[in-house]
Structure 1
Amino acid sequence: MRIAAIDQGTTSTRAMLLGPDGTLKPVLALPHAQTYPAPGHVEQDGEELLANILRCLEAVAPHAVGLANQGESCLAWDARDGRPICPVISWQDDRTADVTAALARDGAGPLVMTRAGLPLDPYFSASKIGWIMRHVPKAAELAAQGHLRLGTTDAFFRDRLTGRFETDIATASRTSLMALETGRWDADLCALFGVPVECLPAIGPTSGDLGQLPGGARLVVSIVDQQAALYGHGCDRPGAGKVTFGTGAFVQCLTGVLVRPDRPGPLPTVAWQKAGEPVTYALDGGVYAAASAVNWARELGLFDDFAGISAFDAVPCIDRGVAFVPALVGLGCPHWNRTARGAWLGLSLSDGKSDMMQALLEGIALRTGEVLSAMQALCRFARPISIDGGLSRNGYFVRFLSEVAGNDLFLAEDTEQTAMGLAWMAAESFGMTRPESRPGHLVKADSAFRISRMGAFAAARKAVEDFSNSFNGSNRAVNNRSSGSDIVP
């Protein structure tokens, strides 16, 4: 039985095979382009993503496949030929920040939070899909003819690969269009965002018989990448949590039952639903810029190779009054402020590139610490928090994270936990049993400076938010005056 995991991620598509010893064998990794056609716009080519998945299928020649998707990224396509009528709008895209802000001012926030369990934020798919309906003329034309299909990238892939226009309940829970308690599209939410519900895919489980792929393999798992990683980390009981450090940093904690926070912070989400079983829920929180912030700094020339930022001679920057707030695409959980932008604070003439990189790594860890603290208030972590991803291989970062996380960390030996979750969820559907032990090592928490560091970072974050609020307010006033408006908010 050749079981393959295909992880269609933010920057690449990777294929791996599950070996008889329970390890993963990398087979193929294919990058894809991301374009930035306007400020705040992040797009991809749906046909390129699909072509990369097909190349991965050919390379692994599997019997069964688990497929992960990016989550909130979405697009529209023609039902007749499956061709996209617009680019994929990435989860990182915030072109609809003004739309969600206007909905919030109109008092729509409580409805969305009550039904979908999500705040009004352009991160989620609903406002992006609504944007397509308003700004892509072909969308309205196809909708009138009954030929429009809308959805997250997984629905597009599955439509083209299996001929079944479907999504899974975990991915649907990330759109702001699904009612968490029923697992169905919500007519009121669809109307609020301007999304025709009849153009959305059918919602089904995350695993089971999901259709036949080109080449004859069966699709047996389709799920959001972060939920796949949660499963890969072996988080199978309430209180088990993980952090995946990829393009962003994503924290999840399994709750089993649905836990509803009183206000936006960590968010309730569907973890998975195996065929014939009840829905399993989790809490979710994200830091939008992690590896993307590091790569951005490298492009700026702040460092040459990753080995050079794995250790620093100086004491932590935050202890010296230097901080970096990684809000390069806004602040996610628990602040949900997409207008905030990144900044270094406290720099002096004696600080150089090394100090700026040290502060940047600390800033990602401190933002992760904020998410962990907010989540801990709702669901206490029952064991060490499992971490994976590229930044989990940076010695300085992991040590500093252990000092501000407030919990012991388990550093998984395998960095591909998304693929691991896909592979084992697929394998278990064929009766295979996953080993209980996982290779890795424990990193003990050292919280001696945690409170002071988190306090200093909170002050830096507040300064960034205050500046962003002031700047955005001034810009709105200028724009209103230049357009002849008498109203200055």
Structure 2
Amino acid sequence: MSPDQPHDRESYVGAIDQGTKGTRFLVFDQRGRVRANAYERHEQLRPSRGWLEHHPREIWADAQAVVERGLDRAEIEPTQLSALGVTNQRETTLVWDRESGKPIYNAIVWSDRRTTDRIEELDTQSKERVREKTGLEPDAYFSATKLAWILDNADSETGQRSLRRRAEAGELCFGTVDSWLVYNLTGEHATDVSNASRTMLYDIHELAWDDELLEEFAIPRAMLPDVRPSSAVYGRTNADGVFGTEIPVAGVVGDQQAALLGQSCFDPGDVKATYGTGTFALLNTGPEPVDSNGGLLTTVGYQLDGEPVQYALEGASFTTGGAIDWLETVGVVDGPVEIESLARGLDSSGGVYFVPAFDGLGTPHWDPRARGTILGLTRGTTREQLVRATLEAVGHQTRQLIEAMAAATEWAVEPIHVDGGVVKNDFFCQLQADLLRTELHRPAVEATTALGAAFAAGLAVDYWDDVADLPEWELGKRFESGGDPEEIDRQYGRWSDAVERTREWAVER
């Protein structure tokens, strides 16, 4: 259906974007414009050092609240929604009772490090099996060991031992956040290929749950969700639920892969970088997976209904927005607005280097025992320099991801399409372009993650006929690389030296 073709009644596509910090609901029209927007933050639970959890019921309650508020504000009737898409924080792990829907334990968040010991117990053969089948680096970041921990440690009314028996009998459901929302919206227990590929239990070549990996992590197959394309009708919302009518839930895709769709990265060689809680860069590699020895992840990008899976290479840095939030938490700045004013007046960090490895290091090091480090402090170090060092660290760690991609492929990884809350700031984007020595393109539509979920949902119900019918990607602003290349390379080299100082710090000696 052409964007200019009139409807009998104006219709839209909705998207629930459930992230690490909160839940957003957006409504898009056929031209890709945002017509409704509502957001709710949720509680961050830290029961122990290195642990992070979310309340599953709070996530679902917030999803319902933002849907109601968004539609009310925009004066849009639920019946005007042609479809609903869901995108989510990936790897975050939940288990619930199949019949009652009652959560067995809190959601264990992707950045949670409690199962690092379990990963380190894997022998060389097991680690290689994980890499070959899943494209992932064995790490507590992914869902498998989180799920095993819940089965072994979560309290249940009938005792811990029966928890595994219930899972084996199919009485319990495992899912990432997308599955939890789909279950509550439709009653279906399902996930999409992009989210399945982040569990460390899914063979991305065979496109199936893998028996050897299930045995390795002692996960009962009966509790796994059905795996479907990212763009497909999963079911319909309950007429007695939040929408008050039956709406097709027709798009499900992990947040980083959703941004790949929302940034119109449909062709091999297209790359996007999302700056959120962490920084995640994805390079579309087409219908064949590309292996990498540079610490990158080979992952499923997305799958449109009836079409082959599209793969991607991914580089992951766990702490970006989290580092900026930390500056406020410890009182270095009063808020995000002050960060730019403090950093803008300096040409450099004055020899201060910050490695924000709060949750370990991702690409290319994959060191769960690394910890955040600040080097180069003197009596004369100012808070302005510390702020500048934090922003420079984001650029340096992103450069690691992009350089790994360039080394693994024959494509020129430029320009980079950027999105996420942090890139709303022009100063930050220009600094990133300078430090990356690469041109950045920021889209006109900021909500690219939700837009990608909306694209997936709309394509499944023919709201848009095909990819060529989707709204054309629109440039918001271009940031060209500047600065002294030799000085930038020198700073990057020094920061890389600082990274080595963080390695294996959280090892008892």
- TM-score, normalised to structure 2, is 0.88
Pick from 225, 229, 234: which aligns with 2:255? 225
The question of 1:314 aligning with 2:346 is answered: yes
Distance 2:286 2:407 in 1: 17
1:22 match: 32
Single out whichever of 357-366 and 393-402 deviates more from structure 2: 393-402
2:201 counterpart residue number? 177
8 Å CA contact 1:253, 1:381 repeated in 2: no
User: Secondary structure of 1:72's partner?
Assistant: coil
Pick from 38, 41, 44 the counterpart of residue 54 of structure 2: 44
Show structure 1 runs of 5+ residues with no match.
475-489
Distance 1:144 1:243 in 2: 39
Shift of 1:20: 4.7
For 1:88-107, list aligned pairs within 5 A: 88-103=107-122, 105=123, 107=125
> Which residue pairs with 1:486 in the alignment?
none
Q: Deviations over 1:229-254 (max 9, x none)?
A: 11111101011111111111111110
Which residue number corresponds to residue 351 of structure 1? 381
* Residue aligned with 1:391, SS: helix
Q: For residues 122 and 415 of structure 1, what CA distance do their matches in structure 2 show?
A: 31
| Equivalent position amino acid for 1:246 in 2 | G
Write the distance in 2 (CA, Å) between the matches of 1:22 and 1:72: 28
Cα deviation for residue 266 of structure 1 reads: 1.1
Any conservation in 1 of the 2:430–2:480 contact (CA below 8 Å)? no
Q: 2:364 aligns with which of 310, 334, 355?
A: 334
Residues 90 and 176 in structure 2, CA contact (< 8 A), matched pair in contact too: yes
Tell which deviates more after alignment, 239-248 or 49-58: 49-58
- Give secondary structure in 2 for the equivalent of 1:210: strand
Q: Which residue of structure 1 lines up, in the alignment, with residue 495 of structure 2?
A: 457
- Give deviations 1:321-352, integer Å, cap 9, x for gaps: 21000101111111111110111100111112
Does the 8 Å CA contact 2:250/2:457 hold for their aligned counterparts?
yes
Q: What is aligned with 1:435?
A: 471
Q: Which residue is 1:143 aligned to?
A: 167
Counterpart in the other structure of 1:87? 106
Aligned to 1:384: 415
Partner of 1:485: none
Does the 8 Å contact 2:263/2:473 carry over to 1?
no
Structure 2 residue matching 1:63: 3-state secondary structure: strand
- Which of 137, 140, 143 is residue 122 of structure 1 equivalent to? 140
Where relative contact order (Cα < 8 A, 6+ residues apart) is larger, the structure is 2
Decide whether the 8 Å contact of 1:133 with 1:194 is kept in 2: no
- Mapped to 1, the partners of 2:91 and 2:153 lie a distance apart of 19
Tell me if the contact between 1:179 and 1:186 (Cα under 8 Å) persists in the aligned partners.
Answer: yes
* 2:454 equivalent to 1:423: yes
Aligned equivalent of 1:273: 303
Moved more, 431-440 or 284-293: 431-440
2:241 match: none
Distance 2:170 2:421 in 1: 44
Compared CA separation, residues 262 and 21, structure 1 to 2 (3 A): closer
SS at match of 1:209: strand
Match of 2:134, as an amino acid?
A
Residue 47 of structure 1 and its aligned partner are, at CA, apart by 0.9
- In structure 2, distance between residues paired with 1:360 and 1:383: 24
State the shift of 1:382 in Å: 5.3
CA distance in 2, matches of 1:406, 1:450: 8
Residue 84 of structure 1 aligns to a residue whose secondary structure is coil
Q: Residue type of the partner of 2:442? A: L
CA contact (8 A) 2:441 2:475 kept: no
Out of 232, 237, 255, which is 1:213 matched to?
A: 237
Q: Secondary structure at the match of 1:108?
A: helix
The one-letter amino acid paired with 1:303 is V
Once the two structures are TM-superposed, the CA of residue 454 in structure 1 deviates from its matched residue by: 1.8
Match runs of 1:151-300 below 5 Å: 151-214=175-238, 215-263=245-293, 265-300=295-330
Which whole-Å CA distance do the structure 2 matches of 1:348 and 1:254 have between them? 44
Alpha-carbon distance between aligned partners in 2 of 1:351 and 1:290, rounded to the nearest angstrom = 22
Secondary structure at 2:96 match in 1: strand
Distance 1:436 1:81, change over 3 A: same
CA distance in 1, matches of 2:226, 2:275: 31
Letter in 2 for 1:55: A
Give the match's secondary structure for 2:388.
helix
Moved more, 69-78 or 13-22: 13-22
* Identity between Structure 1 and Structure 2 (%): 32
Tell which deviates more after alignment, 13-22 or 264-273. Answer: 13-22
Deviation at 1:120, TM superposition (A): 1.0
Whole-angstrom CA distance in 1 between matches of 2:98 and 2:274: 35
Is the deviation greater in 417-426 or in 238-247? 417-426
Letter in 1 for 2:347: V
SS in 2 for 1:472: coil
Q: How far apart, CA to CA, are the structure 2 residues paired with 1:264 and 1:211?
A: 40
**Per-residue CA distance 1:339-389 (angstroms, 9 max, x = gap):** 101111001111121111110111111111111111111132454101111
- Structure 2 Cα separation of the partners of residues 416 and 348 of structure 1: 41
What is the distance in 1 between the residues matched to 2:423 and 2:150?
37
Question: For residue 29 of structure 2, what is the amino acid of its counterpart?
Answer: G
3-state SS of paired residue (1:30): strand
Per-residue deviation, 1:199: 1.2
Partners of 2:267 and 2:286 within 8 A in 1: yes
Distance 2:495 2:289 in 1: 28
What's the secondary structure of 1:335's corresponding residue? Answer: coil
Secondary structure of residue in 2 paired with 1:357: helix
TM-score scaled to structure 1, two decimals? 0.92
Give the CA deviation at 1:221: 0.2
SS at 2:25's partner residue? strand
Matched, 1:108 2:144: no
| CA–CA separation in structure 2 for the residues paired with 1:164 and 1:428 | 20
Cα contact 1:365–1:397 (8 A) shared by 2: no
The offset of 1:55, in angstroms, is: 2.5
| Residues 262-318 of structure 1: CA deviation (Å, up to 9, x unaligned) | 53611111111111111011111111111111111101111113232224222211x
CA distance in 2, matches of 1:395, 1:164: 43
CA distance in 2, matches of 1:308, 1:344: 21
Of residues 289-298 and 396-405 in structure 1, the stretch that sits farther from structure 2 once superposed is 396-405
The answer on whether the counterparts of 1:63 and 1:216 sit within 8 Å (CA) in structure 2 is no
Q: Alignment partner of 2:235: what SS?
A: coil
